Each structure stands twice: as C-alpha cells, then as structure tokens.
C-alpha cells in the first residue's frame, strides 16, 4: 500500500529539486555486525521508498549522491559491490521507474564506471527519455569541483572558438555548462547519518538551498523522514539576502 501523504504538507509549495547525500550505510551495517556491503544493499530499499514517495508527491527533480569521485579510493571489494548493486538496482527497478513515469538521468563521469554499469545507466536513460514525471538523477563518479572545472574547460573552448568573450562570462554561462543545466534550482539538500558537511556535492547548486540534516543512517530513511525534511523546508523563510520586512511585503 502507498504511504499516505502527510496532510500538513502543502503540495503547492514543494521544493522543485531535492538533493540527498545518502550517508551511513557502512555504520548501519557495522552496528549490526554485518559487512558494510549489507548496508549498501539495504540502502537500495530506502532509495525505492524515497523515489516513489517523492514522485507521488509531485517533486519535479530528485538528485541522489550515489558514488563520489573520492569513493573510488575505497577497498576494491566495496567499490565492485557498489557497482554491482547499481546495475542490479537499474535492472530490477527499470520497469517500475517506467510505470511511475519517472525520467532517469545520471551526472558525473559515467565513463569511469565499469562497462556493465554504464550499459544499465545508458539503457535506463534511453528507455525513460520520453517520461514526463519526476527526473531521478543519480550522481555517479561525481565531484562538484570537477564539474566546475569541466564547465571552465567548456567556457575556455567557447572563448577560443570566438563564441564568447572572457570579459562577458556571467554566472548563467557557468550554470549552463554544469551537469545540472536542465534541472530546476536546488531547493532542498538532505544529508543523513549525522555528518554536517557537503562532501563535494552540488556546491554551486546549493548556494541558496535549504539544508536538512538527520542522524538517521540512510538504510533507516523512509517516507516519514523525507516528509519531515519537506515540512522543515516549508517552515523556513527563504530570504535570498533580503530583510524580513522586504520578504513580508513581497508576500502580500
């Protein structure tokens, strides 16, 4: 049965784009004397719960930090297991993603992934490309600083080709060269497991995002906690540099 949506949530004021740093799989497993990989496997169930619930609520874009560029330095067995879990997830969930009208997307250096994983990522993107519901983006082999450096390279090439002048480079030029150029502004960024840092995730995009931290380990995260994050978002006043008076007069 579908998890009922909390009536306190104002569905007309949802964050358009939610990012999640899904952290704490290892600690979830260690607490139970399981191998770390068991935590990653359990984490996939939390992904299922949150993807379905966010899509049902009407969130436009959900971007999940699934594997960082830095994560390649983990023990080889763990990296291999994570790649297998990713491919299994896409293989198993693709039909459900299609049924729910979700468009699958991936950002990061996908070409770093083993071929079998790249193939599933490509297939999921192609098969869901005409879907018009929520955009589910997995950040894979992702580094925000790398993304900004890639944008700088692209702009330098445009300048060399005489398409833009270096003196006229604006914030929008950087934004349109980021991997997220087709996604709405990031409104809400969630991190689980009690860590209070961004770990090289969506640094540019998070400039004015609301941040939500929870002590829950990712495998324990679900619909209820996702709703708590949305409720927290809706209770905040986003000021974008203005004064409280300015914000109040804007509303009326």
Give contact residues for ligand IPE (rule: CB under 6 A).
21-27, 65-68, 71, 82, 193, 195, 197, 199
215 makes contact, choosing from Mg ion, ligand IPE, none, with CB < 5 to 8 Å by partner type, with none
Which among Mg ion, ligand IPE, none contacts residue 65 (Cβ within 5 to 8 A by kind)? Answer: ligand IPE
Tell me: does residue 221 bind Mg ion (CB under 5 A): no
Active-site residue (options: 2, 6, 10, 23): 23
β-bridge mates for residue 62, sequence order: 18, 136
Nearest approach, Cβ of residue 36 and ligand IPE (Å): 6
Q: For the CA atoms of the chain, what is the radius of gyration?
A: 19
Cβ proximity to Mg ion, 52 vs 193, nearer residue: 193
Q: Where are the beta strands (DSSP E) in the chain?
A: 17-21, 61-68, 103-107, 135-142, 188-191, 210-213
Contact 136, 51 (CB under 8 A): yes
C-alpha distances out from residue 66 to 23, 108, 159, 201, Å: 9, 10, 34, 11
- Respond yes or no: is residue 173 known to be catalytic: no
The residue (of 23 and 93) whose beta carbon lies closer to Mg ion is 23
Q: Residue 90's closest CA among 77, 106, 69, 74?
A: 106
Q: Is 71 noted as a catalytic residue in this protein?
A: yes
The residue from 6, 48, 71, 220 that is catalytic is 71
Angle at 197 between CA 151 and CA 238, to 5 degrees: 80
3-state secondary structure of 206: helix
Partner interacting with residue 71 (select from ligand IPE, Mg ion, none; CB below 5-8 Å by kind): ligand IPE
Select the residue whose beta carbon is closest to ligand IPE and give its number.
26
Smallest separation, CB 23 to Mg ion (Å): 4
Q: If binding is defined by CB under 5 A, does position 23 make contact with Mg ion?
A: yes
Binding residues (CB under 5 A) for Mg ion: these are 23
């Amino acid at each position: 049965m579908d998890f009922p949506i909390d009536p306190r949530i104002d569905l007309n004021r949802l964050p358009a784009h939610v990012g999640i740093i899904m952290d704490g799989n290892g600690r979830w497993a260690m607490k139970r004397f399981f191998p770390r990989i068991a935590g990653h496997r359990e984490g996939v169930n939390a992904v299922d719960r949150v993807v379905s619930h966010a899509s049902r609520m009407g969130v436009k874009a959900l971007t999940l930090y699934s594997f960082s560029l830095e994560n390649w330095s983990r023990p080889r067995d763990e990296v291999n297991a994570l790649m297998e879990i990713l491919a299994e997830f896409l293989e198993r969930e693709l039909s459900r993603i299609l049924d729910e009208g979700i468009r699958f997307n991936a950002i990061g250096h996908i070409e770093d992934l083993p071929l079998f994983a790249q193939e599933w990522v490509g297939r999921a993107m192609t098969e869901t490309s005409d879907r018009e519901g929520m955009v589910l983006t997995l950040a894979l082999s992702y580094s925000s600083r790398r993304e900004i450096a890639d944008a700088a390279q692209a702009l330098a090439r445009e300048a060399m080709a005489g398409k833009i002048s270096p003196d006229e480079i604006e914030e929008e030029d950087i934004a349109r060269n980021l991997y997220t150029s087709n996604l709405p502004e990031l409104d809400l960024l969630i991190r689980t497991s009690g860590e209070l840092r961004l770990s090289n995730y969506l640094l540019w995009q998070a400039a004015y995002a609301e941040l939500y931290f929870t002590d829950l380990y990712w495998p324990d995260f679900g619909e209820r906690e996702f709703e708590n994050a949305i409720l927290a978002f809706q209770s905040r006043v986003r000021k974008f540099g203005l004064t409280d008076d300015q914000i109040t007069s804007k509303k009326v």
